[in-house]
Structure formats: structure tokens, C-alpha cells
Structure 1
Amino acid sequence: MLSYRHSFHAGNFADVLKHIILIQSVEYLKKKDKPFCCIDTHAGPGRYELDSEYALKNREFDTGIGKLWNCNDLPELVAHYVSLIKRFNNTGKLTRYPGSPLITKQLLREKDRLCLFELHNTEIKLLTAALDKDKRIHIAHADGLNAGLKLLPPFERRGFVLIDPSYEIKSDYQQVVESLAAMHKRFATGTYALWYPVVDRRRNQELEHALQATGIKNIQLFELGIRADSNEHGMTASGMIVINPPWTLAAEMRQVLPWLADVLGNDGQGFCRIQTLANE
């Protein structure tokens, strides 16, 4: 438990989808002048070195940002995402990848807030070193699901919550559903984005059914796969389940996801899925 290090996976195809949806959700909140609060329950270290031993072990970034880095004809949403990543690579060469905390920081206005939680002893030290000098950002060495719940509703009454657990243990699937139900009960108008991996499709189906059983309305699912479901070890796809998504998000994803599936898929095996789990 708590042995997971995202450094092995930084910048892979799952990060591409997760961070595009993160960016679009925050940009949507910025359309109104009123401030908002973002909560990241599993923040990680904040940034990743892609020339490190961790990242180079499996070179998972080659399945994601690496394939997009030198593309010239990117869809608008993908181009915006890539441009944000390039801000962290001043030489023009892909050597660094920002995690969700640094991506969100780039999007914040002076009046907005970001609350980051991380439980891993090593990761919290790196996160604090990367982001501790920004007055808009609060960092805590804590369980983000429990601590994040206590912040709801935020005093801004507008907010986005990113839940991105490692799913190291099977109970994570049940815990995120219980946490989302509790969070939504306190702050029903907030936007919540839950990341999930596809390593065993049965678990994903159970997760979707459990979320539907909560009675929460307005839930959309966006999934990107690079190869067909398999009984072999490893993640074949990943997705984001979004509660109260920006009203533009589904249409945007219908344009972007098929393109990403084609570009990032392995030997033509890429696929995508967009589904409404609960209507408004």
C-alpha cells in the first residue's frame, strides 16, 4: 500500500485524456468572473522528469505525449494541452511532464484556489518543493478523499474536484464511489472528475453500476483505449467519469477522442467510448 509511483507512467495515453479533461473543466469555470476552488485528492509530486530512471524504464510517455509532441495538425483541444506541456520544456525537447497540480496552477487566476492532498511520504516532499510558494495553493500531507470532503462546499460555491487514485487495492473502487456520494451530498453543484484504469473490465462495469446506484444525476463517461481489453497484465484503456461536466464537454470529446484513439492506438487497435451514465 502506498508504494505506487506515477513517475513510471507520467505522460502516457491515460495522462493525455485525464489532463485534456482537467484543462477543459477548469477553462470552463474561468468563463465566469466569480472565483472557484479546485481540489486534487491524489496530487502526486507535481512534476516528472522523463529522462529519469523511473520514466525510462517502460517509456510509457511514448504512448502519449511523445506521439503528440511533434504533430503539426492537432485538434484545438489537444493543441492547447500540448502547448501547456511545452511551457515546462524550454529547450523544445520533451524531458519534463507536469502533473495535474502544475497544469492546474497554470490555469488559475489570482482569485482562484487550489487545494492539493498527497499521502505518500516521498511524493508530498516533492510536491511541497514544487508548489509551496504560491499563496493560492494549499498543500496537505493527508488522505485527499477524507480531507477533500471536509472542504466542501467551498466558500466560493464553485469548484472542480479531481479524484485520481492508484487503485492499488480493490477496495479503492468502492471507496471512490462512497466518497463521491458524500462529496456530492455536500456540494451538489460541483464538477467531479474520477479517473479510472481498465485492467479488468468487470471491475469497471461494477464501478459504473455503483455510481449509477447512488442516484447522482448528470454523469458522463469518456474512455480512451490503445488496445483491446485483455486478460494479460497491464492497462489497455483508461477513462474519466465526470459529474456535472461542462455542457460543452461531450461535444468536444466526440471530436477529440476518435482522433486520439487513431493516433495513440497500437497498430489500429485504438478505440474510444463516450457514454451517459446518468441524465441530468
Structure 2
Amino acid sequence: MNYRHAFHAGNHADVLKHIVISRIITLLTQKDTPIAYLDTHAGIGLYDLQASEASRTGEWLEGIKPLFDTPNPPALITPYIDIIKALNISNTLRYYPGSPTIAKVLMRPQDHIILNEKHPEDSLVLKKNFKHDGNTTIHCQDGWLLPKAVLPTKEKRIVVLIDPPFEQENELELCVKSLTESIKRMRQAIVIIWYPIKDQKTLNHFYNSLKQSNAPKLLKAELMIKPTDNDLGLNGSGMIIANPPWKLESELLSLLPFLTNVLTEDTGKWQINWLIEEVSTVTKK
């Protein structure tokens, strides 16, 4: 396992992923009952954009940087932006939160955070970053085993994030299996899958597999930075959300056009549609 998210922290895929996560947790915490958050491939939780890894790729310069510099962004992304501002003393953007940090800031004392990171070095950093958080449990094992190992939780509401490194050819298939296992154990679970958009043929098979899963409802949201018919690498990314909070679709219909304008050139586009319990399909260029 060689993937290190520090090279890609704050890129356009992170922006989409973390805005979706922040909106889901914000919606769930409007009710007093506790929630759990399970991150199967958690990373280290906090990234230095001026360190050698992020500086080498510079991906954050076309991701969080233009969004951070945008005046008067939509109120829906205020919780996300506020977390980033709190990590950076001045207006100079240096530190960027991973998914675990976003969850930690937005969740409450009665909530439970479960983090897993298999990479031995990164897991040590993750433990150090969360050593003072009493409501956080950290594992260091194969992330694909976590749903079976920890579900069901005592909390009746849970968010499961499946965000693997995509180093192996079968990881989209493993995502579907992990979602299926999570829903099998907690049918009401909100399960989120982040995935890269590279080869459309492979993704079509992924979509078809998801349509045959056991999810009661399945929403797909995608943000394309480049045309999907080229081989330039990460052309965009998508989020699969099982059992999305009922306001989430309308929020994303508002946010994705904004993100497309901020993060992409004329080639960018966005898409939202239901893979299960189809209500509407909207595509914009």
C-alpha cells in the first residue's frame, strides 16, 4: 500500500467530498439523538499544503485555493470554509482538514467517531492527531473489514465513508460489497462512496452493480473538471450516497453549479441522478 493522500490534499476531489460530508453531518446534527461516523480509509486527518508532498503536485492550487479565495460563497458551505479558516491563523492557506477533522469539528460530545487507517506511518500520525478526543476510536486494519467488524453501532444513526486509495483494479467492486455489508447490518445507514472519474466504461459497470445493491435509496453526484473521454488522469470525481438526508439533493443542486464555475474551465460539468428510487435526473454544462 503506497498511496499517501498528502500528495492530493485539497484538490478538487477533496473539495467535493468534504462539502458533501459537511452537509450530511450538519443536517444530521440538527436532531439531538447521537450519530456515529465511520471512516474506513481515514488518512491522517490534517495536511500541510506547504509540505513537500502537497507542494510537489500543487493540486490544491486548483482545488481549495480558488474556493478559499472566492468572496461570499454560498451559506451552505460556510461550515466547511469555517473549519479551514480556523486551521489557518491568517488568510494564508496552509493547513487543510481531512475527513476525520471535518467530522470531529461538526460532531458533538454525544456522537462517536470511528476511524481506520491501514498505512502504518499514517495510522500513527492519525492517532497522534486524535489522541485527546475521547469520543474517537481508531483502528489500524484492512478498511474493507470495518463495516463487518463494527456495525451495528449502539448509535441508531451512522454515516459510513468509503474512500479507498484506488490502487487495485477491484476497488470499485469492493466499494459495492462494503456498501452492501453496511446496509445489511444497518439498513438506515448513510453510506458514502467517493470514486475517481477516469474510465467511463469501468464506471458504467460500477453504476450497474450499485443499482443491484440492497440500498433503499442511492443518489449519485458527480463533478467533472475535464472531458471524460480523455486519458489525462483524474478528470473528475463522484459521490454515491445511500439513504441521503432528504434535503441533500436540493442542496447539491444548488452547490454543484457554483463549484463547477469556481473549479473548472469551460469543459467542466456536473450531474446528479438517482441510481435507486429515481426521482429526477439533472445534467448541466
**TM bucket normalised to smaller:** over 0.9
Partner of 1:104: 103
| 8 Å Cα contact 2:13-2:236 kept in structure 1 | yes
Partner of 1:170: 169
| 8 Å Cα contact 2:183-2:214 kept in structure 1 | no
| 8 Å Cα contact 1:28-1:246 kept in structure 2 | yes
Within 5 Å, which residues of 2 pair with 1:177-192?
177-192=176-191
SS at match of 1:242: strand
- Cα offsets for 1:206-263 (capped at 9, x unmatched): 1111010124221000111111113324101101000000100100000110111111
- Cα offsets for 1:173-212 (capped at 9, x unmatched): 1111111111111100010110000111111111111010
Within 5 Å, which residues of 2 pair with 1:214-233?
214-233=213-232
Partner of 2:50: 51
The aligned amino acid for 1:28 is L
Aligned counterparts of 1:81 and 1:225: Cα–Cα separation in 2: 21
Aligned counterparts of 1:174 and 1:150: Cα–Cα separation in 2: 19
Aligned counterparts of 2:140 and 2:241: Cα–Cα separation in 1: 26
After superposing the two structures, state which structure 1 stretch, 81-90 or 251-260, moved more: 81-90
Alignment of 1:251 with 2:247, yes or no, is no
Aligned counterparts of 2:9 and 2:229: Cα–Cα separation in 1: 22
Alignment of 1:125 with 2:128, yes or no, is no
Question: How far is 1:144 from its partner?
Answer: 2.2
| 8 Å Cα contact 1:45-1:126 kept in structure 2 | yes
| 8 Å Cα contact 1:132-1:139 kept in structure 2 | no
Partner of 1:138: 137
Partner of 2:147: 148
| 8 Å Cα contact 2:80-2:102 kept in structure 1 | no
Aligned counterparts of 2:158 and 2:78: Cα–Cα separation in 1: 25
Aligned counterparts of 1:122 and 1:150: Cα–Cα separation in 2: 22
Partner of 2:64: 65
Structure 2 runs not aligned, ≥5 long: 279-285
Aligned counterparts of 1:79 and 1:109: Cα–Cα separation in 2: 18
Aligned counterparts of 1:172 and 1:35: Cα–Cα separation in 2: 31
Aligned length: 278
Aligned counterparts of 2:176 and 2:137: Cα–Cα separation in 1: 25
TM-score, with length taken from structure 2: 0.95
Of 273, 276, 280, 1:275 maps to 273
Question: How far is 1:149 from its partner?
Answer: 2.4
Question: How far is 1:133 from its partner?
Answer: 1.6
Structure 1 runs not aligned, ≥5 long: none
SS at match of 1:87: helix
SS at match of 2:54: helix
SS at match of 2:128: helix
Question: How far is 1:107 from its partner?
Answer: 0.8
| 8 Å Cα contact 1:12-1:63 kept in structure 2 | yes
Partner of 2:160: 161
Aligned counterparts of 2:218 and 2:166: Cα–Cα separation in 1: 21
SS at match of 2:87: coil
Aligned counterparts of 2:155 and 2:231: Cα–Cα separation in 1: 46
Partner of 2:283: none
RMSD of Structure 2 on Structure 1 (CA): 1.2
The aligned amino acid for 1:48 is Y
Partner of 1:210: 209
SS at match of 1:193: strand
Aligned counterparts of 2:72 and 2:101: Cα–Cα separation in 1: 26
Aligned counterparts of 1:20 and 1:51: Cα–Cα separation in 2: 22
Question: How far is 1:29 from its partner?
Answer: 1.4
The aligned amino acid for 2:11 is N
